[in-house]
Structures are given as structure tokens and as C-alpha cells.
Amino acid sequence: MASSNGHSGGSSSSTAPRAVPGSYGLPVIGNLRDRHDFYYRQGQDKYFESRIQQYGSTVLRINVPRGPFFTIDPKVVALLDAKSFTTLFDLDRVEKKDVLVGYVPPVSITGGYRILSYLDPSEPNHDKLKQLMFNLLHSRKDSVIPAFRSNFSSLLDGVNLQVGNGPVDFNKLNDVSAFQFLGEAFFGERPAPELFTSAGKWLLLMLSPLFSIGLPWIVEEPLLHSVPLPSILVRKDYKAFYDYVFKAGTKALDNAESMGFSREEACHNLVFMMGLNSYAAFKLMLPTILGSVAGSKDKSSLHARLATEVRAAMADAGGEVTIASVERMELVKSVVWEAVRLDPPVKYQYGHAKRDMEVESHDGVRYEVKKGEMLMGYQPCATRDPLVFGATAGEFVGDRFVGEEGRKLVKYVYWSMGGDEEPTVGNKQCPGKNFVMLVGRLFVVELFLRYDTFSVQFTKGPGGNKVAFTDVTKATS
């Protein structure tokens, strides 16, 4: 494997495969202990790091609380390095049915339908539904940049007005702006500002078994992590979201009907794409990019270089932000990849082994895995692998992906369900992979068109990073 320090992985051709090390502990007790470590005592990063150290391996048998306590078997084979993690992209060896977030929320929360994200490519509707998403993205490609600039210019106007009076909560502004941007970009119609609250409640109910919201464990475990919460709690909220998409997405639904889908099934899939696949990603990713760029160790130099690159590319494009001009901004690309590498918006990937097989770790050791076992990858372990990214694997290095050697490392940033491969109807790569990365770059562009530099308060939280602007210096050139 290519790496920043020349490491290429060891050879295992002369050694026999090993049993996967690790332990699930005693029935029930082991699961309870590990859930407490995962959510409350250690947190996710330390949970995995401590077990790698304990067993001396990056391929492990451990418990991962991937859903409600009483409905999910937590036993997984964890793949925690850049080499073994890629097993999850191999559809000849891994089945991706009903494994998006580790468990399957009740279908009542998605209108009674199994949504595209839960389908394995071998299932009949997978390819057609994914083509529907491609069709939507292609039909709306010219709307993305104008919609983004309109909504996020308004957001930053608000920052400029408020920042002199104290810290300005970026997450709060982003929650509204990102949701309105997506509606305008996908369907040509901004949703009502309050609709983001409905979408947020729906997302919280669906994902609540998977993370801590900061309550005491004695409250949170029985309330959020024991059984799936009933969808009736967000029925009105989901209907409001659905009704907006059904009305605004007329052209997309017409296309779906021409492909043989009912408008209802297509609309539920579009709601999921806008809500979970896109909105949830931007709620997590944009604060991470902002906090990473503002908190860089070489902040003064990095900000000056970004401002120069962004403004020069804009000048060359006649003052317009275009896909072509953004594509030329190599440092902008790099800082977005680096932020996503360190803190990917999608942290977990899952898959069931289709057959007895071997999995190879980054140090060349092969391990035996049995058919049907659940494989789990924790992306921060894979994308911070020191055998790929060297001594600075755990640090933000804004220009890491600049230049020929830097570009070779992009393939190890696995955030989007399929490594560096392009999305197709037949794979599980996120159909909006390139759209999401474009939006990340547009955000950096918008920042450095307005500001020479800026400062933030940055706090890591259980539900994502919290960022607030504390100071901005308006562009001087």
C-alpha cells in the first residue's frame, strides 16, 4: 500500500492465517460493560484504540453497540486499519443488506419502505433507485452553486452582524441554511425555515440508539439505547417533510414514475436522501471543516494561502465561482479532504461476510472470518492509520493532499461508502459523493472570499462538533 512514509505492508504469503483476537466477554455482562465504555467512560475513539493496544491487532472481535440493546447482537469483527477496512468495499465478499448504520430502524419511520441505502446491489430495486438519484443530481447540477452561494452568503451576513456582540453559533445557523440549500438545490424550492426542526426530530429518533446526547447513563440507556423509539413520536414531523418533497419534487417524481416506481415510494427515498444522506452529513461536515481550518497549527500561513488561491482562481474565471474554477483550487480540495479524513461524517461501515474468507491487516497478517459474521469498520481508525499517513496521522495538515504524492493519499479517505471509486448504479459508493465534496469546497471558497482570517470556539460533542465564530477579519484584497 502506498503511504506517506513509504510503508507498503508486510508479506503474509508464508504464514498461516490466524484466528481473530479479541473477546466479547460474558453474555449480557460483556455487552453492558462495553456499552458503558463506548458511550460514557472512554468514548468511541478511545474505545477502539484501547482494544487495539490490548490485543495487539487492528482486526478484532469486540462488541460494538450498533443499535438498541434488546434487538441487536453487538458482536462484530472490527476492521481498524486502512488495509483491512477495504474489505467492506468488496461486494464479492461482503453483503450490504440492511447494514447502513448497523441496525435497521423500523420501516414505519420511512413510510413502510426499505430505502435504497439499506438495499444490497443484488436486490432488484437497488440499481433503479440509485439511477433515480443520479438523474436528480444530474438534472439539478447547474443549480448547486447558485443555491449554495445564496444561502451561505446570507448565513455569513448574519455572522458579520452578530460577531461583535459575542460568539456566533455556526451550528445553529448552518442547521437552517444547509437544509434550505438542499431543498433549493434538489427541487428548486426552499423549504420553510421551521421544517429543518421536523427533519432534525426525525433524524434524532432514527439515530438515537447510536450515540450519546450527553444525558446520565442511567437515563439515556433505558430511554434511547434499549429499544427503537416508536415512529409515532415523529409522525407529524415526517409527514411535513414528506409533503414538502412531494410538492417541490414534482419533476423528480415524474421521472420516478417513468422508471416504474410509485410516486409514494420514490418520495420516501428522496426524503431519506435529502434528510439522512445529505442534511445529516452537512450538519456534521461543515462545522468540522470550519473548526479544522480555523484551528490549524499553521493558521496564519494556511489562511493566507487559501485566500490567495481562492481569489486568484476567481479572477481567472472572470469573478465567477464555477465548477471549473473550484476544481483548480488544489489547496481548497486538500483542506476539505483532510477535515473529512480526521473526522468523517460517516464513521461506521458494516457488511456480512458472504463466505468463509481471510482478511488482511495493514501489517500483512491474515485472519480467518466465517460466513455470516458481521464485519464493522470504524473509519477514523482507518483514515488516521499511521502506516499510511505517518507521524502526523492524528493531526490536521491542510496541504497533506497537495502535489503528486499528496494526491496519491486521497484514496485512503474512505468517508463515502466506497473508497476512491466513482459511484455507479451497481456499487454502494454514495451517489452524492462528488456533490458532497463540492459543497465542502464551496464552503471554504465562500469563507475566503469574505475573510482574510477568522477565529472560532471549537468543542467536540457527543452529537458532533460545536463551532462558534469569535472574530472575523474581512477580506482586504
Q: How far is CA 388 from CA 87, 209, 239, 380, in A?
A: 17, 33, 46, 13
Has residue 3 got a pLDDT over 60?
no
Band the pLDDT of 14: cuts 50, 70, 90.
low
Looking at the predicted structure, is the pLDDT value of residue 303 above 70? yes
What is residue 12's predicted lDDT score, i.e. its pLDDT? Answer: 46
Residues in the chain: 477
Q: Say what the pLDDT of residue 49 is.
A: 97
- In degrees, to the nearest 5, what angle opens at C-alpha 343 toward C-alphas 354 and 7? 70
Identity at 88, one-letter amino acid code: L
pLDDT band at 418 (very low <50, low <70, confident <90, very high): confident
Over the Cα atoms of the chain, what is R_g? 22
Residue 86: is it exposed, middle or buried by C-beta count within 10 angstroms (0-12/13-18/19+)? buried
Tell me the mean pLDDT in the region 238-254.
98
**By mean pLDDT, which of 34-48, 51-65, 210-224, 259-273 is the weakest?**
210-224
Cα separation, 288 vs 440, whole angstroms: 10
Average pLDDT value for residue range 295-305: 97
Task: Give the mean model confidence (pLDDT) for residues 417-427.
Answer: 85
- Which pLDDT tens digit goes with each residue over 100-146? 988 888 899 999 999 999 999 999 999 999 999 999 999 999 999 99
Task: Write down the pLDDT at residue 227.
Answer: 86
Cα–Cα nearest to 132, from 452, 389, 425, 335: 425
pLDDT of 266 reads 98
**Per-residue pLDDT at 170 exceeds 50:** yes
The amino acid that residue 40 corresponds to is Y
What span, in angstroms and rounded, lies between the C-alpha atoms of 342 and 282?
Answer: 16
Does residue 249 have a pLDDT over 50? yes
Q: Provide the pLDDT for residue 6.
A: 40
The answer to whether residue 7 scores a pLDDT higher than 60 is: no
The pLDDT mean for the chain works out to 93
Torsions phi, psi of 470, nearest 5?
A: -115, -20
Digit-coded pLDDT (tens) for 307-336: 999 999 999 999 999 999 999 999 999 999
pLDDT at 52: 98
**Across-strand partners of 341?**
none
What's the pLDDT at 410?
94
User: For a pLDDT cut of 70, what percent of the chain falls above it?
Assistant: 97
Whole-structure pTM value = 0.94
Dmax over CA atoms of the chain, in Å, equals: 66
Is pLDDT at 368 greater than 60 in this prediction?
yes
